[in-house]
């Protein structure tokens, strides 16, 4: 079993044990939402055993969304980031012997995670009622798209469809254009965090009562709760929220938006809320004549003439780098920030560098690669990235041999007969 190597400014872990040390999780999740949840738990010490199909593994092992690699290879940073720190095993769940091995793993587990469509686990004989017969205090976290009840329970969903159903897609974009939606599956990350919280709540209940339970996580509902202001506006004012581009929906601000800067597709976000900030903004620009025009003398006037103001602001930002714009404005107390790209975040951001957020892991196929680090710190149990994402079936010998006690001969037989 190879643990891999770790490099970089990893946070000190000598102060104590990981917070979730000893917690055992059996992980059937795949793609992004479920693996995101179990990733956070693994970062803080949980033992996570990831179950994959022996032929293909998780569909995002290849360079998702492309399919140029051989099935089951490990070329995807997408996969590696959300599966680091986990043990990886393969099983043929169409073989009764594979199901029996799963049941043995359930018997020693605290939590089972899955994010299949409703009824998939029950169809395998691994629904909550069946698992409870094996381990009465087991916690099962089901993270389907719609939940396990209601008229949509059998629907199969993906991040973009959930974002559309929640209203997020409709609200993302500019008022004079069609909805664009978030650029990535934002809903999967929201669902992942919902899964983490659900797991911790269930563990707290179990610690108090000794009882496990089944947790039905609807990823759609996990995303809907983030749309609260729009729902509240409609329920109270009967006002339907509309796309606003970069405008602020609830506070008066002008100028306010993302402004094009020097270079290709470079931007700086600027927001002026108060009269003091407006005066600081004018000083940063060295008080050009237009800043003293009557139409821009009050916040009301600046909002009424927002389009003209935006054009004048962008004439100033267009000939300066986003970094320069940000620094000039911040120096005068004006909220401003570079719209960062991946290279900015990974290679240049001084805050992330100082906190040791990026961690390098040495993957046997990909080599040394940076990973996002632990998202929150504890003084005594800081969390850490223990190993790179597993190769397909990398830990079969360890999990089935050392943990379940199978002999090398049994492991070879099961491998030859395609149970593993």
C-alpha 357 chain-centroid distance: 15
Tell me, what's the pLDDT at 76? 83
User: Binning pLDDT at 50, 70 and 90, where does residue 17 land?
Assistant: confident
Asked if the structure places residue 78 within a domain, the reply is yes
Helix, strand, or coil (residue 61): helix
Residues 279-291 have pLDDT tens digits of 999 999 999 999 9
> Using the 8-state DSSP alphabet, how is residue 90 labeled?
E
Where does a domain end: 318, 346, 374?
346
* Per-residue confidence (pLDDT) for residue 72, from 0 to 100: 58
Residue 231: inside a domain: no
State the Cα–Cα distance between residues 142 and 376, nearest whole angstrom.
Answer: 25
As a whole-number percent, the residues of the chain with pLDDT over 70 amount to 93
Q: Are residues 174 and 85 in the same domain?
A: yes
What is the distance between the alpha carbons of residues 357 and 348, in angstroms, rounded to a whole number? 12
Q: What angle is formed at CA 395 by the lines to CA 24 and CA 115, rounded to 5 degrees?
A: 55
CATH code: domain of residue 275: 3.30.1540.10
**pTM, entire model:** 0.89
Least confident of 39-48, 217-226, 300-309: 217-226
In the chain, the number of structural domains is 2
| Residue 188 is a catalytic residue | yes
Does a structural domain hold residue 246? Answer: no
- Domain of 377, CATH number, reads 3.40.50.10540
In a domain, 236, yes or no: no
Q: What angle do CA 200, 204, 208 make, to 5 degrees?
A: 170
Residue 16 pLDDT level (bands cut at 50, 70, 90): low
Q: Verify that 24 and 75 share a domain, yes or no.
A: yes
Strand pairing report for 358-363 and 5-8:
antiparallel
Comparing 269 with 13, the larger pLDDT belongs to 269
Same-domain status, 64 and 186: yes
Q: How confident is the model at residue 14 (pLDDT cuts 50, 70, 90)?
A: very low
Instruction: State the residue range of the domain holding 173.
Output: 5-226+351-416
Q: Return the closest-CA partner of residue 166 out of 197, 194, 196.
A: 194
Out of 346, 376, 393, pick the residue that ends a domain: 346
Sign of the Cα torsion 261, 265, 268, 270 reads: positive
Q: Sign of torsion, CA 28 32 34 39?
A: positive
pLDDT: which is higher, 252 or 66: 252
Q: Which residues of 53-74 are buried (b: 16+ CB within 10 A; e: fewer)?
A: bbeebbbbbbebeeeeeeebeb
Going by the DSSP 8-state scheme, the letter that residue 401 receives in this structure is I
For residue 79, give the 3-state DSSP assignment: helix
Q: Which two tokens stand for residue 24?
A: 């055992």
Q: What is the pLDDT of residue 334?
A: 98
pLDDT at 9 over 60: no
Residue of 188, 344, 362, 416 marked active site:
188
Same domain, yes or no: 72 and 161: yes
The pLDDT tens digits for 382-404 are: 899 999 999 999 999 999 999 99
| Residue 288: inside a domain | yes
Question: What tens digit of pLDDT does each residue of 63-93 get?
Answer: 554 445 565 566 788 899 999 999 999 999 9
What mean pLDDT value characterizes the chain?
91
Same domain, 60 and 118: yes
Same domain as 128, residue 19: yes
Selection from 135, 55, 131, 61 nearest residue 95 by Cα: 55
**Same domain for 207 and 88:** yes
Q: Is the pLDDT of residue 306 over 60?
A: yes
304 and 175 share one domain? no
Better-predicted residue by pLDDT, 351 or 15 = 351
Length of the chain: 420
Given a contact cutoff of 8 angstroms between Cβ atoms, the answer to whether 328 and 261 are in contact is no
Average pLDDT estimate for 354-371: 93
Report if residue 362 sits inside a domain: yes
Closest CA to 88 of 127, 120, 143, 47: 47
Q: What is the mean pLDDT of residues 199-228?
A: 95
Could you read off the pLDDT of 309-351 as tens digits, one per residue?
Answer: 999 999 999 999 999 999 999 999 999 999 999 999 999 999 9
Is 233 within the bounds of a domain? no
Q: Which residue has the higher pLDDT, 365 or 126?
A: 126
Q: Which residue, 311, 346, 381, sits at the end of a domain?
A: 346
> Within a domain: residue 101?
yes
Q: Residues 276, 374: one domain?
A: no
Position 15 scores a pLDDT of: 47
């Amino acid at each position: 079993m190879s643990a891999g190597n770790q490099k970089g400014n990893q946070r000190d872990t000598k102060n104590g044990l990981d917070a979730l040390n000893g917690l055992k999780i059996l992980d059937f999740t795949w793609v992004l939402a479920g693996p995101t949840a179990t990733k956070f738990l693994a970062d803080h010490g949980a033992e996570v055993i990831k179950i994959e199909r022996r032929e293909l593994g998780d569909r995002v092992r290849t360079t998702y969304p492309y399919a140029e690699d051989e099935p089951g290879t490990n070329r995807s940073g997408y996969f590696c980031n959300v599966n680091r720190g986990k043990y990886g095993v393969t099983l043929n769940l169409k073989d009764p012997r594979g199901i029996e091995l799963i049941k043995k793993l359930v018997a020693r587990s605290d939590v089972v995670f899955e994010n299949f469509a409703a009824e998939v686990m029950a169809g395998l004989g691994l629904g909550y009622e069946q698992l409870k017969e094996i381990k009465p205090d087991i916690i099962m976290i089901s993270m389907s798209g719609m939940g396990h009840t209601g008229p949509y329970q059998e629907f199969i969903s993906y991040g973009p469809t959930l974002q559309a159903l929640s209203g997020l897609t409709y609200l993302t974009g500019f008022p004079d254009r069609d909805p664009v939606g978030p650029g990535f599956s934002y809903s999967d990350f929201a669902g992942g965090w919902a899964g983490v919280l659900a797991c911790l709540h269930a563990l707290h209940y179990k610690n108090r009562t000794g009882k496990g339970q089944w947790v039905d996580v609807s990823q759609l509902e996990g995303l809907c709760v983030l749309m609260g202001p729009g729902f509240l506006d409609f329920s109270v004012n009967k006002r339907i929220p509309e796309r606003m581009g970069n405008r602020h929906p609830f506070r008066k601000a002008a100028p306010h938006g993302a402004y094009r800067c020097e270079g290709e597709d470079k931007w700086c976000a600027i927001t002026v809320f108060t009269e003091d900030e407006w005066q600081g903004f004018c000083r940063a620009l060295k008080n050009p004549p237009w800043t003293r025009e009557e139409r821009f003398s009050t916040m009301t006037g600046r909002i009424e003439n927002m389009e003209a103001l935006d054009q004048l602001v962008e004439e100033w930002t267009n000939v300066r780098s986003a970094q320069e714009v940000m620094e000039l404005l911040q120096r005068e107390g004006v909220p401003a920030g570079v719209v960062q790209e991946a290279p900015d975040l990974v290679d240049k951001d001084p805050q992330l560098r100082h906190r040791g957020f990026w961690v390098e892991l040495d993957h046997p196929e990909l080599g040394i690669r940076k990973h996002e680090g632990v998202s929150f710190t504890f003084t005594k149990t800081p969390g850490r990235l223990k190993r790179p994402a597993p190769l397909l079936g990398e830990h079969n010998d360890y999990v089935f041999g050392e943990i379940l006690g199978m002999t090398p001969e049994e492991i070879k037989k099961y491998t030859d007969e395609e149970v593993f």
